Structure 1
Amino acid sequence: MKQKNRPIMILGCTSDAGKSLVVTAICRLLANRGVKVAPFKAQNMSNNAAITQDGLEIGRAQYLQALAAKAQPSVLMNPVLLKPSADTQSQVIINGKVNNEISQLPWMDRKRLVWPEVQKSLHQLIEAFDQVVIEGAGSPAEINLREGDIVNMSVALECQADVYLVSDIDRGGSFAHLLGTWACLSVEEQKLIKGFVLNKFRGDPALLGNAMDWLEQKTGIPTVANLPYYRHQLPEEDSFRLGTTWQRGKINIGILYYPYASNMDEFDPLIYQDDINLVPITKDIDLSHFDALILPGSKNSGASLQFLKQTGLATSIKQFKASGKLILGICGGLQILGDNIFDPLNLEGGNQSGLGLIALSTTLQAEKSTKQTTIKWQNTDIKGYEIHHGDTTIGKDVTVFMEEHLGWQSANVYTTYLHGAFENKPFYDWFMRQVGGHENGLQWTAHLQTELDKLAQMFEKHGWL
């Protein structure tokens, strides 16, 4: 039997230290070397979900890492997904499906129920792959959360992983972060740390002086990599490269960035085009200068709708519609643009009147529709995914925009339940024709593969593998 490698685990001193990107880089580097590799993150918190081939939800980051590993995305790679739906409430997805019982439990009471699922998924991956690359969450030094930990050192100890601790040096204070995080660990946990990693370094490496030697003298652990600040065109997990304000000479598209906006990574094919400026709208401003508006998905359409009404944006969107410019609503945005959101189970705060810009009525259902979807649209196949609770019916002056159950149009208002549409060049080009832009859509799948290979090359040059 082929000798398996000990799992590699990437932990961070802070959130946004670069853990996800480092795991993605390692997965692609090893896959390009012919290693059968898989990513793993026990628990992710994000409203950016992906749908596997068998219709189950996992975090978008683990989906991308699976693509980097040239492996089929699976719920084994992310058995627990938390989707925030209120300030102190998250929907809990276990093995790809909503678990309402666990969702109602206090945070610290969940471990006894979800830890066995984490163990099972982790060991199945270790058995099936030659190398598993694990991502932690936040920081293992969050002492207040250690009792309920199922994603950081609990996982490292479970599989005796080789752990590498990453610090974002661009923020400053990296050596204090690394030393302090290491000091917060138990002796047993410290023994698993094999190296420190500086990430997002800019400038002359000579400026680091003997700091790495100093850190090794304090801890006995070497700094194994100094990764440069690396600009890429891969989906971000929780932050987005949106513009800040309207720009002259560009196609300015306003995106309603309301609370619980979800699946924002699907707009990356727009963001990475030089002629487009995608601007987040978070308060009531003059929308007349924009060439189009997009209402994205939402984990809580009711709360997002209330935000639009309370800020005055609801009125501004209605005024924008009168200009005749394009408005596109995706999933939750579709529901918000309609006449009514009926919520008989009180999933999102009860019944509400929508913006009334298209005669659609949506009833929220207990069961969520989650599946990958391929449809025939304007004589060509386009691919995407569905992830919604809503069952929508149409009223007067509404025509089918996509297939009967997927999207509708009325005048300049277009709606769809299909996420990922912009990743299809025909849809991107259609959108650009509506706003007077160039039909320069990327072949997004091929673009991602190229970006993953570039990332792996960077890591091979500056990493430790």
Structure 2
Amino acid sequence: MVQGTSSWAGKSLVATALCRHLARQGIRVAPFKAQNMSNNARVVDGGEIGVAQYLQALAARTPPEVRMNPILVKPEGMTRSQVVVSGKPNPEISALPWRERAPHVWPVVFESLQSLLADYDVVVLEGAGSPAEINLMDCDVTNVRAASTADASVLLVADIDRGGAFAHLYGTWALLPREARQRLRGFILNKFRGDASLLAPAPERLNTMTGVPVIGLVPWFHHELPDEDGAAPPVEGDGAMSTVAVIRYPFASNLDEFKPLEQVARVRWARKPADLNGVDLVILPGSKHVASDLTWLRSAGLDRAIGARARQGAPVLGVCGGLQMLGMRLHDPYGVDGAAKGLCLLPVETTFEREKITRRGTFRFASTLAAPWATLANREVEGYEIRHGHTRPLPTAGVAISAGIGWVQGSVLGVAVHGVVESWDVLQALFGRVPQYSLDSTLDRLTDVVMANVDARFIEELVGLR
């Protein structure tokens, strides 16, 4: 199991690398995270899971499935979240206070973990946050309890770039219950840059104090895998690239789908009107709380800036919740999201239904698309839908993708499906470039770096390969 001293320490990175490393050895390996908190999800057989476990399954060369992330918590406000259980939203558990959820979700976690352990040679578990959150230890299902259930050896990762990594490692070890301490087999320092000789004698002293060796020093390196929550600042592209602004509202979702854009365009998060200056394309991404994010967008003045661009004929793309915002109105008869007036840039209306649509599919752009979207005409894309909103066109809406998936009016295009800008065909059509690295080659490159900087033999012994 890979745990971390904090969020963003590098748990997902190391777990992903271990999945690919073990798969290379011919081991049948599966990822597992009992409970993930993220608004970035992917559709798999049975519903939706967090993007990190989806990518880890691909790294493991095994089909992603809901058992790999049985509980997904999707924030909808500062104190409210939707709880997805085995791929499907559970409104009853979602309504419970945080501490009261554990007894309801643990049976699902236990069954999923046990079945994966029975079906695979190795299961790589990932923790959440820190295992030493002593204020939440009584209701934790992802760290100590999951490790104990799986009888897992634990590696603990710290982000050394933040400073204080040795204190983080020792403090976490010291706060853990005795049984959890005994499971700790190795420490990994992640995001290192500088002179490694300056670390001495800290690793040796830490080993003396805890009995746990430092078994890895992973350097800071660039890779093309999205962050678990997709919120990291985009990597700057070269000056010859087009510039794309992605509106970064508070509850933006599925931001990971824009990671391939960084290889073909300069991508920036936009939080104020000035962030749209000089850009070639504005994207309104998905949202976990469309009405709330629409209110934020107006308070930031971005509604006027986006409207002005559309009236000037500059391209604006809305994806899922972004499409819904671009429409005339949001209707919410069941209290799912919120009712509101839209930006009125697309002649469509959206009604939020109780049931959430989660499905994958192949979609084709209409042959009649005009500039600035003409290059997408007849292009076929694979994508996925995760939405409560059902959007219907008004008479003047132009069809961009049939079957109620996309509409266009002038320079404004809205699609209900995620994954459009992950398509190399679409990227070539819009930007005249394709990414240098595929997802699979990214997983290989990431694994090569991580495994070259940890004690691979030590880890293989932990899982019984030696």
Q: What secondary structure, in the 3-state scheme, does the structure 2 residue paired with 1:213 have?
A: helix
Which residue matches 1:414?
413
Which residue matches 1:202?
193
Alignment of 1:23 with 2:15, yes or no, is yes
| Cα distance change on mapping 1:36 and 1:441 into 2, 3 Å | same
Tell me if the contact between 1:382 and 1:421 (Cα under 8 Å) persists in the aligned partners.
yes
Q: Give the gaps of 5 or more residues in structure 2.
A: 366-376, 457-466
Tell me if the contact between 1:241 and 1:271 (Cα under 8 Å) persists in the aligned partners.
no
- Return the match for 2:133 from 109, 129, 142: 142
Which residue matches 2:335?
346
Alignment of 1:440 with 2:429, yes or no, is no
Q: What secondary structure, in the 3-state scheme, does the structure 1 residue paired with 2:3 have?
A: strand
TM-score by length of 1: 0.92
TM-score by length of 2: 0.92
CA shift, 1:288, in A, is 4.5
Tell me if the contact between 2:224 and 2:260 (Cα under 8 Å) persists in the aligned partners.
no
Deviations 1:112-139 (A, max 9, x none): 1101111100110100000010000000
- Return the match for 1:368 from 356, 360, 371: 356
Tell me if the contact between 1:246 and 1:290 (Cα under 8 Å) persists in the aligned partners.
no
Q: State, as a whole percentage, how many aligned pairs show the same letter.
A: 44
Q: Which amino acid aligns with 1:428?
A: L
- Return the match for 1:66 from 53, 57, 77: 57
Structure 1 stretch 54-63 or stretch 40-49: which is displaced more?
54-63
Tell me if the contact between 1:244 and 1:280 (Cα under 8 Å) persists in the aligned partners.
no
Tell me if the contact between 1:424 and 1:443 (Cα under 8 Å) persists in the aligned partners.
no
Alignment of 1:426 with 2:418, yes or no, is no
Tell me if the contact between 1:43 and 1:80 (Cα under 8 Å) persists in the aligned partners.
yes
Tell me if the contact between 2:263 and 2:434 (Cα under 8 Å) persists in the aligned partners.
no
CA shift, 1:286, in A, is 6.7
Q: Which amino acid aligns with 2:435?
A: L
CA shift, 1:382, in A, is 1.6
Tell me if the contact between 1:225 and 1:464 (Cα under 8 Å) persists in the aligned partners.
yes
- State how 1:292-441 maps to structure 2 within 5 Å: 292-349=281-338, 351-377=339-365, 378-432=377-431, 439-441=432-434
| Cα distance change on mapping 1:347 and 1:205 into 2, 3 Å | same
CA distance in 1, matches of 2:439, 2:396: 39
| Cα distance change on mapping 1:427 and 1:247 into 2, 3 Å | closer
Q: What secondary structure, in the 3-state scheme, does the structure 2 residue paired with 1:277 have?
A: strand
Alignment of 1:279 with 2:268, yes or no, is yes
Which residue matches 1:93?
84
CA shift, 1:430, in A, is 2.7
Which residue matches 1:119?
110
Which residue matches 1:84?
75
Tell me if the contact between 1:55 and 1:371 (Cα under 8 Å) persists in the aligned partners.
no
| Cα distance change on mapping 1:22 and 1:286 into 2, 3 Å | closer
- Return the match for 1:190 from 157, 163, 181: 181
CA shift, 1:303, in A, is 0.5
Q: What secondary structure, in the 3-state scheme, does the structure 2 residue paired with 1:401 have?
A: strand
Q: Which amino acid aligns with 2:359?
A: K
Which residue matches 1:6?
none
Tell me if the contact between 2:270 and 2:276 (Cα under 8 Å) persists in the aligned partners.
no
CA shift, 1:427, in A, is 1.5
CA distance in 1, matches of 2:150, 2:234: 42
Alignment of 1:171 with 2:171, yes or no, is no
Deviations 1:206-250 (A, max 9, x none): 111121110011111111111111211112112445459999754
Q: Which amino acid aligns with 2:248?
A: Y
Tell me if the contact between 1:43 and 1:79 (Cα under 8 Å) persists in the aligned partners.
yes
CA distance in 2, matches of 1:140, 1:114: 18
CA shift, 1:167, in A, is 0.7
- State how 1:144-293 maps to structure 2 within 5 Å: 144-243=135-234, 250-273=241-264, 276-285=265-274, 287-293=276-282
Pairs aligned (count) = 445
| Cα distance change on mapping 1:205 and 1:256 into 2, 3 Å | same
CA shift, 1:429, in A, is 2.4
Q: What secondary structure, in the 3-state scheme, does the structure 2 residue paired with 1:191 have?
A: helix
CA distance in 2, matches of 1:197, 1:456: 15
* Structure 1 residue ranges, 4+ long, deviating more than 6 angstroms after superposition: 244-248
Q: Give the gaps of 5 or more residues in structure 1.
A: 1-8, 433-438
CA shift, 1:289, in A, is 2.1
Which residue matches 1:4?
none
CA shift, 1:410, in A, is 0.5
Deviations 1:401-443 (A, max 9, x none): 01231100001100101101112122222322xxxxxx11238
CA distance in 2, matches of 1:41, 1:124: 14
Tell me if the contact between 1:425 and 1:443 (Cα under 8 Å) persists in the aligned partners.
no
Tell me if the contact between 2:263 and 2:435 (Cα under 8 Å) persists in the aligned partners.
no
| Cα distance change on mapping 1:39 and 1:293 into 2, 3 Å | same
Deviations 1:254-277 (A, max 9, x none): 21111110001111111123xx22
Tell me if the contact between 2:17 and 2:59 (Cα under 8 Å) persists in the aligned partners.
yes
Q: Which amino acid aligns with 1:440?
A: R
| Cα distance change on mapping 1:459 and 1:242 into 2, 3 Å | closer
| Cα distance change on mapping 1:48 and 1:15 into 2, 3 Å | same
Q: What secondary structure, in the 3-state scheme, does the structure 2 residue paired with 1:199 have?
A: strand
Aligned-pair Cα RMSD in Å: 1.7
CA shift, 1:313, in A, is 1.4
| Cα distance change on mapping 1:246 and 1:344 into 2, 3 Å | farther
Q: What secondary structure, in the 3-state scheme, does the structure 2 residue paired with 1:370 have?
A: strand
